[in-house]
Amino acid sequence: MAKAEYNKTHNGSDNNSPQTEELQVGFIGNPNSGKTTLFNAYTGAKLKVANWPGVTVEKKEGVFKSHNHSYKLVDLPGIYSLTSYSIEEKVSRQYILSDDVDVIIDVVDASNLERNLYLTLQLIEIGKPVVLALNMMDIVEERGMEIDLHRMPEMLGIPVIPVSARKKTGLDILMHAVSHHTEIEPENDPIVVYSDLIEDKITKITERLREHNPDIYNPRFYAIKLLEKDPEIMDTCPVDVSDILDKSYETEIIKQKYDFIEEVIEEVLINRQERARRTDKIDRVLTHRIWGMPIFFGIMGLVFLLTFALGDGIKGIFEGWLESLSIWVDSSLSAINAGPILISLIVDGIIAGVGTVLTFLPNIAILFLALAFLEDSGYMARVTYVMNGIMNKIGLSGRAFIPMLLGFGCTVPAIMATRTLENERDRRKTILITPFMSCSAKIPIYVLLSGMFFGKLASLAALSMYIIGLVAGLLTSYAATKVENKIDQLKAPGEKPEVNQLLIELPEYKNPNLYSILIYVWENVKEYLAKAGTTIFVASIILWFILRFSTTGYVEDMSQGFGAAIGRFLVPILEPAGLGFWQISLSLIAGLAAKEVVVSSMGILFGIINIDEAGISTIYQSLEAIGFGPLNAYAMMIFVLFYTPCIATLGVIAKELKSAKWTTFVITFQLAFAWLASVIVYQIFKLILY
Amino acid sequence: MMTLKDCRRGNVYIVEKSMLKQPGKRRLESLGLTEGTLISKLNEAIDGSIIFLVRGSRLAIGKDLADDIIVRDMTESDIRGKKNGWGKRRRNRHGKGGI
């Protein structure tokens, strides 16, 4: 009886979404299961990246065609379970429960079957067609294990297809299985059978749900979720089941699912070998209780040293190219009798503005290469453990260190990464301090200023920005936590402040995949190039225009132009910080568009096209002439380190904070902090030195 | 009463009881830290954070969470009951009344 109704409803829902040409396939799996690698193997670089409605969780879509079938592939966030306690899990569950999806591909790391199957069992309970993609079979074989591919689908009741996302094997068979598994035959027995106590309650709840709505689709899933007291399902439950729900059975349900998984493992996994000896060995060094942290700081020091020292070597080649380009453009333009204003716009405006920024490409590529290496090897997760002690002291969990680390590359993805922090306060604090981690766009400014004024100590001066930024970030969070606790004490005296505990999976170390690292570096370099071609290009033209024009038209002397007037406006405010020059304040304003524009504007202001030795000495002489010395340069670096990030970052911050009040606070705080810090540095050193 | 913190590195213990509070309790249970499962501490940091192995997953947790995981030594009967030291056999769970 019950089965017949289930059948009817199920077929009914299929009729509503008739089998069209296109199948919509959702990719789901644990973090580190190789889900995204598999997804990329199908879609290649042709992706549509958007957000899930209403939240900033990334939604990737791609199209795949094979054997007259067209598949719309949707990549879901990497999750461990399907509750409604995190944004990622909520988004995934709502998508799977929706009518949009036809088939779910559950990507499972075969070398860690036990934990991965937990999500699989939850997916099966939802009652949609699931195909299991058994990934990383090569690692299983390497360790001498075997998986019974005949018994496994029998026990789980779903197709199991071995694949290798890295070696791109099994891809066609997997999609073939998907196209033949769009409908499920409802079986008599559910896959996981719980204890009598729970099963009795499930039966009672499903009966009551059916009384209310005979057409209900998969009442067993809702019954189980109600027994887990899932808030989202409880809120939408149409019938009163409070007499059956005497307590939450979540713990029991989780445990009994794992009991069933143990049974499956027992039957399908042969020569079980849990531990990766290599990971143990590496961890003994990298997560050492004393050496772990010095090693981490050593690695980061090396990363920045490479970025500056090695990057500068390669930069020389780029400078040569730029030099020849600008000479060639200048002479060809003169040859075709172009007007002096046009030549000035192209050579002094565009080439000087965009070109100076482009020569820093090697530095930036090296930095992103290093970050990709840390991430792909599995080390990044360890950093949260190594830094947890310090992070706890400033009121954050070690987990908040990942966004901070990513912030050294680009602040935009770093701010987005704060989503993994569950606690609203932790997120806010992390968003506040992440911009203090100097992003790659600030590298050109540091290199330029320290190269000009600090001679042999240039690398050290640049490196000091990273240390000062990190320390200031930690202190800011510490102070913010103190304030929060004070407010809590006033509101509810005597309550202990809530400390957010670290909880993270440490994936096994693996040799970084060259292909995925190169894709990551290329994506970031492309972003940098695109920025040079758009934001910096436009900013350079605008800068050239406001510098070269005044109410009387084109001016030879830039100090007569609009730009100088705008810059002079801020001079009194920046004076105490040693930055009271219209040229400097103008370039700082311009830097709000993108931090690289500070350097572009210097190029345009001082009429140089290339930040090479000759260019640097030109700027140096011009700056010295207006009384801008090493101390002013250092104060300017400090100001740049702390002041309001670029427009792109502000946009993300506003989106993530979802509050105009907090966004305004962040902007004001950063401006005030930058001004205060540079004033203090400038005034103290002036007292000591002069 | 012995907690995960008191474990000797590398030895295998049994999770006897979890005193964890939500949401940490739910998250750790979903990752396989259920009562009766085997657990092994791999590393401990100065601040008391711990790396441990449970059901093939390597997890890092903060001190307060580690303090709430009560473990006990493996006994003779545990070893007999668990083939290969990990995982135990429980048959006949298909269909009601199997337990």
DSSP, res B9 = T
- A156 SS3 class: helix
Question: Is residue B99 assigned to a domain?
Answer: no
Q: Does B8 touch chain A (CB under 8 A)?
A: no
Q: For residue A523, what pLDDT is reported? A: 77
Question: Is residue B89 assigned to a domain?
Answer: no
Using CB atoms within 10 Å of the CB of residue A513, give its burial: 0 to 12 exposed, 13 to 18 middle, 19+ buried.
middle
Q: Chain B: nearest CA to A499, how far in angstroms? A: 9
Q: For residue A46, what pLDDT is reported? A: 66
Q: For residue A3, what pLDDT is reported? A: 35
Q: In whole angstroms, give the CA distance from residue A572 to residue A583.
A: 13
Q: For residue A17, what pLDDT is reported? A: 43
Question: Is residue B50 assigned to a domain?
Answer: yes
Q: In whole angstroms, give the CA distance from residue A446 to residue A284.
A: 37
Burial B25-49 (b: 16+ CB within 10 A, else e): bbbbbbbbbbeebbbbbbbbbebbb
Per-residue tokens: A164: 């290798």
Burial A606-645 (b: 16+ CB within 10 A, else e): bebbbbbeebbeebbebbeeeebebbbbbbbbbbbbbbbb
Q: Chain A: nearest CA to B73, how far in angstroms? A: 20
Mutation target to probe the A interface, by most A beta carbons within 10 A, among B11, B52, B55, B92 is B55
Question: Which domains does chain A show, CATH number per domain?
Answer: 18-179 (3.40.50.300), 196-269 (1.10.287.1770), 295-487+515-689 (no CATH)
Question: Is residue B57 assigned to a domain?
Answer: yes
A26 backbone φψ class: left, alpha, beta (φ>0; ψ -120 to 50): beta
| Interchain proximity B56–A118, CB inside 8 Å | no
| Interchain proximity A388–B83, CB inside 8 Å | no
Question: Is residue B45 assigned to a domain?
Answer: yes
Segment (H or E) for A103: strand A103-109
Mutation target to probe the B interface, by most B beta carbons within 10 A, among A143, A503, A508 is A503
Question: Is residue B15 assigned to a domain?
Answer: yes
Q: Chain B: nearest CA to A266, how far in angstroms? A: 7
Q: For residue B59, what pLDDT is reported? A: 94
Q: How many domains does chain B have?
A: 1
Which among B23, B62, B83 has CB closest to A502? B62
Q: Does B17 touch chain A (CB under 8 A)?
A: no
The range of the structural domain enclosing residue B16 comes to 2-84
Q: Does B59 touch chain A (CB under 8 A)?
A: yes
> Which CATH number goes with the domain that contains B34?
2.30.30.90
Question: Is residue B94 assigned to a domain?
Answer: no
Low-confidence ranges of chain A (pLDDT < 50): 1-20
Mutation target to probe the A interface, by most A beta carbons within 10 A, among B14, B44, B58, B69 is B58
| Interchain proximity A503–B43, CB inside 8 Å | no
Chain B residue with the nearest C-alpha to that of A292: B45
- Find chain B residues with C-beta within 8 A of A112's C-beta: 56-57
Question: Is residue B65 assigned to a domain?
Answer: yes
Asked whether the predicted pLDDT for residue B91 surpasses 70, the reply is: no
For chain B, how many residues are written?
99
| Interchain proximity B62–A266, CB inside 8 Å | no
Looking up tokens 């298909």 gives B94
